[in-house]
Homo-oligomer: A and B are copies of this chain.
């Protein structure tokens, strides 16, 4: 609750000076949400042989405005060259580091239904420091299956076998999701990606992101309905 305390006065041009330690770069949440897209686009550019890129170009590829891109990147530091652009591979390195992708993030997937299997098979998962180390499900008819080379275990066994789990992905039905989350949290998991259609309740120190198909569809339906209404009104003036 105590939110808006940080004035952090003065410090107008200290910015680029890179102070020894406490370099309080506060990257806004909205910016963090776009960094993966930039990284993705930069990786493609790099593979295509580009060594430099201008904000206009990178912005258009990722679907944002160039001013926004430049402001986003400015939160990471001053890596562009005026009149020239950005060095592709340097930018890749900076964003990779900013997002913490140089570290190792062991992942457990809980719930080996269709969605869990799809995620386990998803190649992009293994990229960038994310490493699936455990697949769990308490359904006896599923325990023992081998998915993508990993055995499916009961959650208790998976936890016992993996001291450190950084990220838990929950793909169980909604009515089990909360107790799964509780057990993950108790085991020390502090990051949860929740595919179940329920708002999880977790302690403050745990970060949950939710992906909900049903929500996405409903948002699409809202906008579709608005379009239809606008079109219907069109002829009536």
Contact = CB atoms under 8 A, between A and B. Distances in A.
What is the oligomeric copy number? Answer: 2
Nearest to A168: B220
Nearest to A103: B225
Residue of A41, A61, A119, A216 most packed against chain B (CB within 10 A): A216
Contacts of A117: 114, 118
B121 A114 contact: yes
Nearest to A226: B100
Interface of A: 27, 32-33, 35-37, 39-41, 61-63, 98-101, 103, 105, 107, 113-115, 117-119, 121-122, 124-125, 127-130, 166-167, 190-193, 197-199, 201, 205, 207, 209, 211-225, 227
A80 B223 CA distance: 25
Majority SS at the chain A contact face:
helix
Nearest to A22: B233
Contacts of A225: 99-100, 103
A221 B105 contact: yes
Contacts of A215: 33, 36-37
Contacts of A98: 222
A36 B214 contact: yes
Contacts of A213: 119, 122, 124-125, 193, 211
A199 B63 contact: yes
B217 A167 contact: yes
